[in-house]
Amino acid sequence: MKLFPERLPEQLRRGLAPVYLIAGPERLIVEEAADQIRRACRANEIAERIQLTADGRFDWGDLDRATETGSLFATRRLVELRIPTGKPGTEGGKVIRGWIEQQRPDVLMILCDQWIFDQEKSAWVKAVDKAGVYLPAWNVKPAQLPRWIAQRMQSRGLTGDDAIHAYLAERLEGNLLAAAQEVDRLALLYPDQRLTLEQVQEAVADSARFDAFRLVDLAFNGRPGAALRCIRGLKESDTPPPAVLWALGRELEVAAQVAGSRRPRQEIYGALKVWQARQGPIDALIMRNGPARIEAAMDGLSRLDLMSKGQAQGDFWIELERLCARLAAPADRQAA
C-alpha cells in the first residue's frame, strides 16, 4: 500500500509489514521513516539488523545469502537494502520480487535516494506496494513548509502562530533538515511553551553554527541566490569566518577526494564515514563542477583563510559570495 509519511506511525502500531520501500529526494523524511521502522522492529524483538548497499558492484545474490543461515540471536531480522540510484535493474528487480514471493519471516526495508514518479510503475515497486508499504519521500513544497513546521513544532510540544511558521519557512529557504534542527533547538530553549515571534527571532539570530552548515547545503545543491542571502545573514550576525570556513572546507575536502578517485563513491564514503544525508549534496556538487573546479574551489578556500587572518588583501564576505556562487551555478552557466 502507498502510504504518506505522517501515516507511518499508525501503520506500525497495527503491525510490521514484510517489506517497506522508502524512496524520494527528501533525505530527512527517508531517514526519519527508517528510524521509525527500526524502533518498531526492536519493539517486536527483531534485534538483528543486516545492511546492504546495491551500488554498481553489488552482487544481488548477497540479498538471498544475507538471511539463508539461521541467526544465533533472533528468529527474525531486519534487512536494510539501500539502492542509491533507485534502480535495481532487471536482475535486482527480479531478486526483490522473489524475496517478496517467498514470504520470509524477516523484514526487508529498501531505501532509495534518487527517485522519480515514473519509477512507481516498475514491477518490483508494484510488488512492494501489493505485499507491504511504499512510502514516497517527496520534497516539501514552499507553500507547504509553514504547515510542516507547525506540525513539527506541535510534535515537539511547542505552539506558535502563523507568523512564526511563515518566518521560519522564509528564513530556512525550504531546507527541511535545517527546519527540523531549528525546531528541535527551540524545543530545548523553550520546552512545552507557546512561542512569540520575538522569542523565535532572538533564538534564530543565535544559530550561526547551523547557518554555516545551511550555506554548504545551499551551495552544494545548486541554489546560488539562497546561498548569497545566507552569506549576508552570516555577515550581519557577526558569524566568525573560521566557523564558515570549517563547515565549507570539511565538505569540499570530501568532494575533492570522491571526485578525484576511481574507486566507487560508496566505498569512499564508507571509508570516510560520511553520513548518507551528506552524500547527496556532495554528489550534486561533483556532477555540476567536476574535479578541476573543486580543486580550484579548495585553492579559493585557502585564500579566504588567509583573508580571515589578515594575511591577504580583499573583502572576505564578497570573496565568499563569489566562491559559493561559482559552486552553486548550473554547469552550463559556469565560466570556462
Q: State the pLDDT at residue 173.
A: 64
Phi and psi of 192, rounded to 5°? 55, 45
Q: State the pLDDT at residue 195.
A: 95
The residue to which cell 556532477 is assigned: 287
More confident residue, 316 or 262: 316
Q: Is the C-alpha dihedral spanning 13, 16, 19, 25 positive or negative? A: positive
User: Can you read off the three cell numbers belonging to residue 277?
Assistant: 544525508
Sheet (strand 48-53) strand order: 48-53, 77-83, 107-112, 19-23, 133-136
Residue 170 has pLDDT above 90, yes or no: no
Q: State the pLDDT at residue 333.
A: 55
Of the ranges 34-43, 176-185, 316-325, which one carries the lowest mean pLDDT score?
A: 176-185
The residue to which cell 573543486 is assigned: 294
What is the distance between the alpha carbons of residues 311 and 243, in angstroms, rounded to a whole number? 18
Per-residue pLDDT band at 140 (split at 50, 70, 90): confident
What is the distance between the alpha carbons of residues 318 and 327, in angstroms, rounded to a whole number? 14
> Where does 214-333 sit in CATH, by number?
1.20.272.10
Residue 200 has pLDDT above 80, yes or no: yes
Residue from 177, 179, 111 nearest 147 by CA? 179
CA angle 283, 288, 293 (to 5 degrees): 100
Q: What percent of the chain has pLDDT over 90?
A: 53
CATH fold for domain 142-206:
Helicase, Ruva Protein; domain 3 (1.10.8)
- Amino acid in position 53: T
Homologous superfamily of the 5-136 domain (CATH): P-loop containing nucleotide triphosphate hydrolases (3.40.50.300)
All structural domains of the chain with their residue ranges? 5-136, 142-206, 214-333
